[in-house]
Structure 1
Amino acid sequence: MQNYLTIFINGEPFNCDSRMSLNDILIYLSININLVIIEYNYSIIQKKDFSNLYLKDNDVIEVISIVGGG
């Protein structure tokens, strides 16, 4: 039996398999991790930790796009 949980990504509910890491979710959503900053429950997460971070029900993820300019 699969276990699903609901997390919130940029304020929107997202249902995912509880075995997915943060990295798995970002890949599933086609998010380029080199162009974003990820905030997990109000703390910035280092890219090296994405694969080791497994989410819990009602966790909050904010995907912040890096915009270049000059």
Structure 2
Amino acid sequence: MVYINGNSIDVAAITLKDYLLKNGYSISKIVVEINNKIISKANYENVILSFGDVVEIVSFVGGG
């Protein structure tokens, strides 16, 4: 299990980038934190989601 934004999700070995793209996230408009560490966008394709990871995905929304 991986915990993403408070929800437990069963994912097989998948990179962070693949997970984000598969789930419709716009990489240019988000910030990802895994286990209390912000992940650089340049590393999304190198990070493999692992059992027990706690992931927070924050989207930027414009408006006023």
Q: TM-score, normalised by structure 1?
A: 0.83
Aligned partner of 2:16 in structure 1 is 22
The residue type paired with residue 45 of structure 1 is I
The two structures, once aligned, show a CA RMSD in angstroms of 1.1
Higher relative contact order (CA 8 A, sep 6+): 2
Aligned partner of 1:3 in structure 2 is none
In the alignment, structure 2 segments of 5+ residues that lack a partner are none
Structure 1 stretches (4+) deviating beyond 3 angstroms? none
Distance in 1 (alpha carbons) for counterparts of 2:61 and 2:19? 22
In the alignment, structure 1 segments of 5+ residues that lack a partner are 1-5
Q: TM-score, normalised by structure 2?
A: 0.90
The residue type paired with residue 10 of structure 2 is N
Percent of pairs identical after alignment? 34
Aligned partner of 1:68 in structure 2 is 62
Greater Rg over alpha carbons, structure: 1
Q: After TM superposition, list the pairs within 5 Å mapping 1:1-70 onto structure 2.
A: 6-18=1-13, 20-69=14-63
